[in-house]
Amino acid sequence: MARRLRGGRPIARRASTWAAVALLATQLVGVSAVAAADPVSFGTPTASSTFGKSIVFEQPVTISGTPKRVEILVTTPGAIGPEVVPLPSGAATGSSLTYTMDMATGGGAVPNTTFTARWRVVDADGKAWLGPPVSRTYDDDRFTWKTLNGKVVRVHWYEGGQALGQKAVKIGDDAIAAAADLLGVTESDPIDFFIYADQKAFYDALGPGTRENVGGQAHPDIRTLFALIAPDEIDAGWIESVVPHELTHVVFATAVDNPYHEPPHWLNEGLAVYLSDGYDAAFKAMVQSAAGDGSLMPLDGLAGAFPTTQDRFFLAYGESVSAVDRIVRVNGRDALVKLIRSYRDGVSDDDAFKAALGTDVAGFEADWLADLGAKPPTRLGPQPAPGGPLPAGWSGPRPNPSFEVGASAAPGSPIVPGRSGSPSTTDWFILIGAVVAGLLLIAAVAIVLIRRRRPAMAAPVAVDARSTPVAPDRDAAPSWVDTDWSLPRPDDGAPPDAAQLDAALPDAAPPVAPTPPPDPTDHPTGS
Ligand SMILES: [Zn+2]
């Protein structure tokens, strides 16, 4: 699930893809004569989609004269507003407007996302004409999907018999009912559940940047779930685990929906694991082991994205369900529900915890660690740089290296304005050096500005408070992967046990297995 403002479709997530969107063509198909009444009239727009390639929007139009601006407005479910893509200047005086959204990079939209577009023509006086909307769902059309409707869950699968769909629908509807009942919400709008039979197709659907070992993923904003379930896994524990797990995320999102503040990731994942698998022996062993050697991650390190390395990734789930288990054991199920539901009012974490559990987050964490008999977790992450050596005889305070961005000019600097006399050769070198440095600085600023302006669809709409601001390079890896609720997948379809977690999950390993970085960089990357 992507974090968002009120029901907000993660535009930030879009941004990474739309940075790559190519405005392929705006064709002139003959300039029309002046229309009788209105200088701009729209025909019926159309849209088509091809998985992994493109979504094409076409709009018949009659425009007399030369508009000042023509743009397409594209929106996705729950977005706070459309993305606006201007057409190249002077390119839109014809009778057909075409916009091709490049989906080849696959980095931003998962299948089942519906895009709605309309065109806007603006004349020199600022008068605007808005065309009719057209919607198109981005489908994974590589497969012929079978569909089975349950009460709420709509299962889609392409391999395996009817029994697979029936089982998934049953598990899904039961899970929805249980979670909705627990959290006191009503779920009646359909939830689409897509079952992929092989890992490559599954990962292609989720897009690049999908984390290793991910076997399921929930996108509550489009009420869509994805899971990797092979047809022969119909009787394996995995299907009993992944279906309720992902559906719990959808119900959780409904229960906490607010425009201000989202609960910590560990609470969301902890509930999903608790309701699907419980705090089982494998997770207990894992958490106890980490508690014993001081390698537990602090809960605030699990408030955002989970770590990427496999052992820490699994441990993150273990700690999450361990913490949720403690809340239920000590404070009771009602307190857990109260805690989760209080987020709907947009309260802070401390306020939510105090009201439901009688202690703030730090207090809860301390109690949880004491309960586990854990050594205090080692705090990793950015460390302040050490201060440099002090000059001999220096008696002032040790300088803060953070502010030492440049040396001040030495007394008698040769480039002081108004200095009398001719500059020496050394002066000239310094002067030229300063000019060159200045030009380089200007060029760097210009490059930054150009880069910022380039992705027209990647307008800096930072609705995702946790993922986007920490990604200064919008063209880099898509940020939304940090915020989708994923479930790690064991390699044999069963819930992970300690041996598996130690073993490296060969089948589920990604094409590029990460090399565990040397300590201390092997730590959570939570955003
Ligand atoms: Zn999850």
pLDDT bucket at 259, cuts 50 / 70 / 90: confident
Please tell me the distance between residue 340's alpha carbon and the centre of ligand 1 in angstroms.
16
Please tell me the distance between residue 215's alpha carbon and the centre of ligand 1 in angstroms.
10
H/E stretch holding 450 reads: helix 425-453
Contact 295, 319 (CB under 8 A): no
Please tell me the distance between residue 462's alpha carbon and the centre of ligand 1 in angstroms.
23
Please tell me the distance between residue 391's alpha carbon and the centre of ligand 1 in angstroms.
54
Residue-level pLDDT at 441: 67
Please tell me the distance between residue 244's alpha carbon and the centre of ligand 1 in angstroms.
10
Please tell me the distance between residue 307's alpha carbon and the centre of ligand 1 in angstroms.
13
Report whether pLDDT(7) > 60: no
Please tell me the distance between residue 1's alpha carbon and the centre of ligand 1 in angstroms.
9
Q: How far apart are CA 74 and CA 133, in angstroms?
A: 9
Please tell me the distance between residue 309's alpha carbon and the centre of ligand 1 in angstroms.
16
Distance of CA 126 to the CA centre of its chain: 36
Q: How far apart are CA 39 and CA 59, in angstroms?
A: 16
Residue-level pLDDT at 20: 32
Query: Greatest CA span in the chain, whole angstroms?
Result: 94
Please tell me the distance between residue 217's alpha carbon and the centre of ligand 1 in angstroms.
7
Please tell me the distance between residue 156's alpha carbon and the centre of ligand 1 in angstroms.
20
Would you state the structure tokens that stand for residue 256, as one six-digit string?
A: 């906490």
Would you state the structure tokens that stand for residue 83, as one six-digit string?
A: 């993305």
Percent of the chain at pLDDT > 90 equals 48
Distance of CA 331 to the CA centre of its chain: 32
Would you state the structure tokens that stand for residue 270, as one six-digit string?
A: 């902890």
Q: Whole-number mean pLDDT of the chain? A: 74
Percent of the chain at pLDDT > 70 equals 67
Nearest residue to 168 (alpha-carbon basis) of 144, 196, 187:
196
Would you state the structure tokens that stand for residue 261, as one six-digit string?
A: 């503040």
Please tell me the distance between residue 47's alpha carbon and the centre of ligand 1 in angstroms.
34
Please tell me the distance between residue 486's alpha carbon and the centre of ligand 1 in angstroms.
4
Please tell me the distance between residue 78's alpha carbon and the centre of ligand 1 in angstroms.
21
Please tell me the distance between residue 4's alpha carbon and the centre of ligand 1 in angstroms.
17
Report whether pLDDT(142) > 70: yes
Please tell me the distance between residue 349's alpha carbon and the centre of ligand 1 in angstroms.
20
DSSP result, 259-288: SS-PPPHHHHHHHHHHHHT-S-HHHHHHHH
DSSP result, 2-71: ---STT---HHHHHHHHTT----------PPPPPSS-SEEE---EEEEETTTEEEEEEEEEE-S--SEEE
DSSP result, 403-419: G--SPPPPTT-TT-TT-
Residue-level pLDDT at 237: 86
pLDDT, one tens digit per residue, over 431-476 is 556 666 667 666 665 555 544 433 333 222 222 222 222 222 222 2
Residue-level pLDDT at 494: 42
Residue-level pLDDT at 409: 36
pLDDT, one tens digit per residue, over 325-356 is 999 999 999 999 999 999 999 999 999 999 99
pLDDT, one tens digit per residue, over 373-424 is 998 777 777 777 777 778 888 877 666 655 444 433 333 333 333 333 344 4
Please tell me the distance between residue 214's alpha carbon and the centre of ligand 1 in angstroms.
9
Would you state the structure tokens that stand for residue 48, as one six-digit string?
A: 């088509």
